[in-house]
Amino acid sequence: MSNYEEQIQKIVSLKRYETPRDGYFEDFLLEFQQRQRSELLHKSSTTLFFERVATWFRELGSIKWVAGAGAAYAAIMLAVLIWPAGPGTVPDSNRAPASFEGGQGSPAMPVDEQIEDQTEFRF
């Protein structure tokens, strides 16, 4: 290391004596603790719930994979059971919407049949 570098290093190293006032670090810790507490209070209940679930899940150890697989299976079965019927299935007449039950101008019935109906009602 050259002489100038040593001197620069010596001068710059003086900065290590720049320290905060006495008691600063005690106050710093108190402020940190207060800040942590206030952060915890302001966290939404949903965030806390997910945090707790995540912690609980982490602490389960190897059982968590079995529990995870079980939960995934339950979710899939639930989805299959409540999934609405597809277009290929036979519609249940009891579940048909009210607007499809006929009547004037109903698109569910051809126009000529509607006229026949009206004629019938006149007699």
Partner 1 sequence: MSSEPHSESAVKADADLDRELVRRAQAGDTRAFDDLVVKFSPRLYGMVYHMTSNKEDTHDLLQDIFAKAYRSLKRFRGKSSFYTWIYSIATNMTLNFLKKRKRRVAWSLDDVDSGIQNDEAMVDIGHAANPRHQSDVNELQKKLNEAMQTLSEDHRAVVTMFDIQGMPHAEISKILKISEGTVRSRLFYAHKQLQGHLEEFIH
Question: How far apart are the C-alpha atoms of 123 and 83, rounded to whole Å?
Answer: 47
* Minimum gap (Å) between residue 4 Cβ and partner 1: 6
* Minimum gap (Å) between residue 41 Cβ and partner 1: 15
Check residue 5 for interaction with partner 1 (CB under 8 A).
yes
Q: Match 């006149």 to its residue by tokens.
A: 122
Question: How far apart are the C-alpha atoms of 109 and 30, rounded to whole Å?
Answer: 78
* Minimum gap (Å) between residue 2 Cβ and partner 1: 9
The answer to whether the beta carbons of residues 87 and 93 sit under 8 Å apart is no
Binding flags for partner 1, 78-117, as an x/- string (CB under 8 A): ----------------------------------------
Sign of CA dihedral 54, 56, 61, 65: negative
Check residue 7 for interaction with partner 1 (CB under 8 A).
yes
Give the residue with the Cβ less far from partner 1, 27 or 113: 27
